[in-house]
A and B are shown apart, each in its own frame.
Chain A
Amino acid sequence: MTTARKEGYRPGLVDMAAARISREIFVNEEIYREELEKLFTRVWLFVGHESQIPKPGDYFVSGMGEESVLLCRDRASKVHVFLNSCRHRGMKVCRYDEGNTPVFTCPYHGWSYGTDGKLVGVPYFREAYHEELDKSQWGLIEVPQLCLYKGTVWACWDPTAPPFLEYLGDFDRYLDLLLDGWDGSEGGTEILGGIQKWRIPCNWKFPAENFCGDSYHNISHRSVDLVGIGPSGSGRRDMQERLMARRLQVSFYERGHQTGVYLLPKDRPTPPSYQHSSVVSEYFAHCEEERRRKRGELARLIGSPGEIFPNTALHPRQPRTIAVWHPRGVHETEVWRWYLVDKSAPAEVKDFLRDYYIRYSGPGGMTEQDDMENWNYAHAASRGTIARRYPYSYEQGLGFEVENYEWQGLRIPGTVMDITEAKSSEHNLRNLYRRWTEFMEAESWDELATWRVARAAE
């Protein structure tokens, strides 16, 4: 099994046994080109939210890897994801960010496509093509796999990849912490306002590993904590649960997903939050009661940053956001960040959250600015001839992982690192690179869907 190898990918690049990773995987052009082929064409990628395209003809221009794609709803309300590239000469058929249209028309030679992707308009079809061009063969290129999950839209270019829910595995409960309403209602969230997009001069894996649950970098945010941008007037978010909960890092080895999570004690209420506004505080207190009632023991889980392999970041609580780390060359990442709120929340709550979210996240957000500074300079300082010779250490907590973790009657699926006393671990980060390595080595999904092999053997 690939995870047991001492040296992964190419010798000296990813050494999982020693937990050392070469800087080359972050700065090497050749490795980056391989990533685009072996990783981004085979994984499931987050492309948007259904609430961004509520009506027939609505579209949102998204991205998969480096490539531009169109997320749109056709006349019959069916959702599609197409490559944003004309079949004739490749020009983008849509150059806006979002909107509503009956057709996508290429501005180069005028080929035009319906919102269902069919080629409907070809200039001089009668005269120049003598009506012999088979339009049915020249529609927009559509992703072979698409999944709508609690409002989110996911797409995959590989027809042989497992369906999205199988790709997630038991990790769905952690994604649900982000997508369900705070009162536990299924898929009760929506996108708040637009999305933020900005670029950072670093490899996409720097932010990806950070959001896997890197709690070691808290020191970076000390200035923000001192300022007190949090929704109760101190710190950067409400963290009272730390005083009573088990603090866990959870990795899904076979899937590559990982997250932090707080596990509250049995029969103890969730600590109060959002104390800066009585309306908001009461709203969340009420929702929390409802969540406990609907979800039972599972409501003891409080979300923390995580990552769906490879580049979709989950921030399920404060602020509640989802981010994609789009690769833009080996040395640059374009971040797209969506903000979520409860659909049914009062306007005052949504407004409060909007202010808090912007204060925290995005290019102007005080917390995210700290992170960007680190990723920027870490990347730049890793590009040098000498610097590349020295690997990074991912040894923190190596060997202290636990299977079948259980506390006060609730078992946690996945491989768990309890960091309540240890304070920090690089368990989840190792999982990202373990799975990354497997993708870089594997020829097909037959090798990657290891759980199918285990299931067949039972």
Chain B
Amino acid sequence: MTEPINIRLLGPGTRIVLDDGAVAEIVSNPLDGVWVFARFLSSPDDAARVGSEEMIFAQDIVEIGEAS
């Protein structure tokens, strides 16, 4: 199990890797420690998500990528 990530520290532009392998870029962070708003850059399971903006649940975030 990976270490939990403190998503309150993640600002706009930060890339995040999700547990299904998708990569997204944070658009905004409400700082509630539960959600971030992010745009999908890639999504191996569902290509239709790429480009869309969704709320991402903290427990789905497994890794932080490089800021764009």
A-side interface residues toward B, CB under 8 Å?
101-103, 105, 107, 110, 112, 120-121, 123-124
Query: In the complex the two chains form, what is the Cα distance from A103 to B30 in whole Å?
Result: 7
Query: In the complex the two chains form, what is the Cα distance from A356 to B66 in whole Å?
Result: 56
With both chains docked as a complex, state the minimum distance between the C-beta of B53 and any C-beta of chain A, in angstroms: 12
Complex contact A102–B34 (CB within 8 A): no
Query: In the complex the two chains form, what is the Cα distance from A124 to B55 in whole Å?
Result: 11
Contacts of B32 in A (CB 8 A): 101, 103, 105, 107, 112
Contacts of B35 in A (CB 8 A): 103, 105, 110, 112, 121
Complex contact B28–A112 (CB within 8 A): no
In the complex formed, the residue of A with least CB distance to B58 is A110
**CB within 8 Å of A: which of B31-62?**
32-35, 37, 55, 57-59
Q: What are 18 residue pairs bridging A and B, where the CB atoms are less than 8 Å apart in the complex?
A: A101-B32, A102-B28, A102-B30, A102-B37, A103-B32, A105-B30, A105-B32, A110-B34, A110-B35, A110-B57, A110-B58, A112-B32, A112-B55, A120-B55, A121-B34, A121-B55, A123-B34, A123-B59
Contacts of A101 in B (CB 8 A): 30, 32
Query: In the complex the two chains form, what is the Cα distance from A124 to B37 in whole Å?
Result: 15
**Chain B binding site: helix, strand, loop or mixed by DSSP?**
mixed
With both chains docked as a complex, state the minimum distance between the C-beta of B48 and any C-beta of chain A, in angstroms: 12
Interface residues on B, range: 10 to 19
Contacts of A107 in B (CB 8 A): 32-34
B-side interface residues toward A, CB under 8 Å?
28, 30, 32-35, 37, 55, 57-59
In the complex formed, the residue of A with least CB distance to B56 is A121
Query: In the complex the two chains form, what is the Cα distance from A120 to B32 in whole Å?
Result: 14
With both chains docked as a complex, state the minimum distance between the C-beta of A59 and any C-beta of chain B, in angstroms: 12
List the 9 closest A-B pairs by CB distance, nearest first: A105-B32, A121-B55, A123-B57, A110-B34, A105-B34, A102-B30, A103-B30, A121-B35, A112-B35
With both chains docked as a complex, state the minimum distance between the C-beta of A58 and any C-beta of chain B, in angstroms: 14
Complex contact A121–B57 (CB within 8 A): yes
With both chains docked as a complex, state the minimum distance between the C-beta of B20 and any C-beta of chain A, in angstroms: 9
With both chains docked as a complex, state the minimum distance between the C-beta of B50 and any C-beta of chain A, in angstroms: 16
Contacts of A123 in B (CB 8 A): 34, 57, 59
Contacts of B30 in A (CB 8 A): 101-103, 105
Residue among B28, B35, B58 with the highest chain A CB neighbour number at 10 A: B35
Query: In the complex the two chains form, what is the Cα distance from A112 to B34 in whole Å?
Result: 9
Contacts of A120 in B (CB 8 A): 55
In the complex formed, the residue of B with least CB distance to A103 is B30
Q: A105-B33, A110-B34 are in contact. List 8 more A-B contacts (CB 8 A).
A: A103-B30, A103-B55, A107-B32, A107-B34, A110-B35, A110-B57, A110-B58, A121-B34
Query: In the complex the two chains form, what is the Cα distance from A19 to B46 in whole Å?
Result: 74
Query: In the complex the two chains form, what is the Cα distance from A101 to B37 in whole Å?
Result: 13
Contacts of B34 in A (CB 8 A): 105, 107, 110, 112, 121, 123
In the complex formed, the residue of A with least CB distance to B19 is A127
Query: In the complex the two chains form, what is the Cα distance from A123 to B58 in whole Å?
Result: 9
Complex contact B57–A124 (CB within 8 A): yes
Query: In the complex the two chains form, what is the Cα distance from A255 to B34 in whole Å?
Result: 46
Query: In the complex the two chains form, what is the Cα distance from A112 to B58 in whole Å?
Result: 12
Query: In the complex the two chains form, what is the Cα distance from A101 to B33 in whole Å?
Result: 13
With both chains docked as a complex, state the minimum distance between the C-beta of B37 and any C-beta of chain A, in angstroms: 8
Query: In the complex the two chains form, what is the Cα distance from A245 to B55 in whole Å?
Result: 63
In the complex formed, the residue of A with least CB distance to B59 is A123
With both chains docked as a complex, state the minimum distance between the C-beta of B52 and any C-beta of chain A, in angstroms: 13
With both chains docked as a complex, state the minimum distance between the C-beta of B58 and any C-beta of chain A, in angstroms: 8
Query: In the complex the two chains form, what is the Cα distance from A124 to B58 in whole Å?
Result: 11
Query: In the complex the two chains form, what is the Cα distance from A102 to B34 in whole Å?
Result: 13
Query: In the complex the two chains form, what is the Cα distance from A102 to B30 in whole Å?
Result: 6
With both chains docked as a complex, state the minimum distance between the C-beta of B59 and any C-beta of chain A, in angstroms: 7
Residue among A101, A103, A124 with the highest chain B CB neighbour number at 10 A: A103
Query: In the complex the two chains form, what is the Cα distance from A121 to B54 in whole Å?
Result: 9
Query: In the complex the two chains form, what is the Cα distance from A101 to B30 in whole Å?
Result: 7
Query: In the complex the two chains form, what is the Cα distance from A110 to B32 in whole Å?
Result: 10
Query: In the complex the two chains form, what is the Cα distance from A120 to B35 in whole Å?
Result: 11
With both chains docked as a complex, state the minimum distance between the C-beta of B56 and any C-beta of chain A, in angstroms: 9
Contacts of B57 in A (CB 8 A): 110, 121, 123-124
Contacts of B28 in A (CB 8 A): 102
In the complex formed, the residue of B with least CB distance to A101 is B30
Contacts of B55 in A (CB 8 A): 103, 112, 120-121
Query: In the complex the two chains form, what is the Cα distance from A103 to B54 in whole Å?
Result: 13
Contacts of A110 in B (CB 8 A): 34-35, 57-58
With both chains docked as a complex, state the minimum distance between the C-beta of A113 and any C-beta of chain B, in angstroms: 11
In the complex formed, the residue of B with least CB distance to A112 is B35
Query: In the complex the two chains form, what is the Cα distance from A102 to B28 in whole Å?
Result: 10
With both chains docked as a complex, state the minimum distance between the C-beta of A87 and any C-beta of chain B, in angstroms: 16
Query: In the complex the two chains form, what is the Cα distance from A92 to B55 in whole Å?
Result: 20
With both chains docked as a complex, state the minimum distance between the C-beta of A281 and any C-beta of chain B, in angstroms: 47
